[in-house]
Amino acid sequence: MQAETRTLLRAAMGTYPATRALKDGSLRSDLLELDFAEVPVISRAFAPMVREARYDVSEMAIATFLQARACGKPLVLLPVVLAARFQQSALLCRADSDIHGPADLAGRRIGVRAYSQTTGMWLRGILAEDGGPAPDAIRWLTFEDAHVAEIQDPPWAERAAPGQDMLAMLRNGELDGVIVGNDVPDDPGLRTVYRNPEAAAEAFWQRHGIVPVNHMLCLRRELAEQRPELVAELLRLFAAAAEAAPPGPRGRAPMGRAALRPVIELALGYMTAQGMLPRPLTVDEVWDGLPANLG
């Protein structure tokens, strides 16, 4: 009897403790096989996924997905967290700066890779809660477009001239602060705007009871509609891979629609206040296309 052929899915995602068992082949499926694309910087997969549906299943920044959903892109979000962290250590200024906390940022020039960057989304919301200025009271300088082509920056953000380097601009005083990504530069000439990022993170945890989610998982809508058994198998695989990884300081990342509802609600609230969505979204709309009996 001929063995059943597994469905090959083109995939793009980073290597994390919660994905390692899938990427090294130690966790396998009888239904599907994940063909991982080589994407050294995983954020470079997001625009091709949104604009071209280049992959069957892809890691995706939560802010990018919510913008894509608001623009009607044929993607389905899976309730799987791939990357989550507290964000306060990603907001930097010069070590000799007169900025001593969120309240000092009004009118300042803050650089960020893109206004739509998820770390920036979380930080702008957190800053407002911590006594900092509203997003339109800061002069945002961006260096890239949003991953979703239809998304335009709000009027309080401007584009840097081509070829400019964000960290160089901070070091020479052209910027007052920057928001970086996961890799914080090891530079004694820079420091965090939050004097005690760990204490600020704890305060956020006490307010909201969540760790901000940066990246989740999405797939092509056509695949979700035509092959729901593959969606169920992906959820099973990623749950097993996450279970095989050690828990973080706040436990394992939430999985499932109900567990992720507080994260999605807070992200939607922050993005609405920051002019990041072309239209309002409900939590139910966010999960549109995910089979009702899954997640």
Query: What would the pLDDT profile of 46-96 be if each residue is shown by its tens digit?
Result: 999 999 999 999 999 999 999 999 999 999 999 999 999 999 999 999 999
Instruction: Work out the mean pLDDT of the chain and round it to a whole number.
Output: 95
pLDDT of residue 1: 33
Q: What is the pLDDT of residues 10-47, one digit of tens each?
A: 999 999 999 999 999 999 999 999 999 999 999 999 99
DSSP for residue 6 = P
- Please give the helix or strand (H or E) that residue 220 lies within, else none: strand 213-220
Q: What is the pLDDT of residues 188-237, one digit of tens each?
A: 999 999 999 999 999 999 999 999 999 999 999 999 999 999 999 999 99
Closest by Cα among 158, 58, 55, 44 to 110: 158
Sheet holding 177-179, edge to edge: 157-159, 139-142, 109-112, 177-179, 91-94, 190-192
pLDDT of residue 3 exceeding 60: no
Q: Would you call 172 exposed, middle or buried from its count of C-beta atoms within 10 A (0-12, 13-18, 19+)?
A: exposed
pLDDT of residue 153: 95
pLDDT of residue 4: 64
- Please give the helix or strand (H or E) that residue 57 lies within, else none: strand 57-61
217 to each of 126, 148, 189, how far by Cα in Å? Answer: 24, 16, 36
Q: How far is Cα 121 from Cα 116, in angstroms, rounded to an integer?
A: 7
Residue 181: pLDDT band (50, 70, 90) is: confident
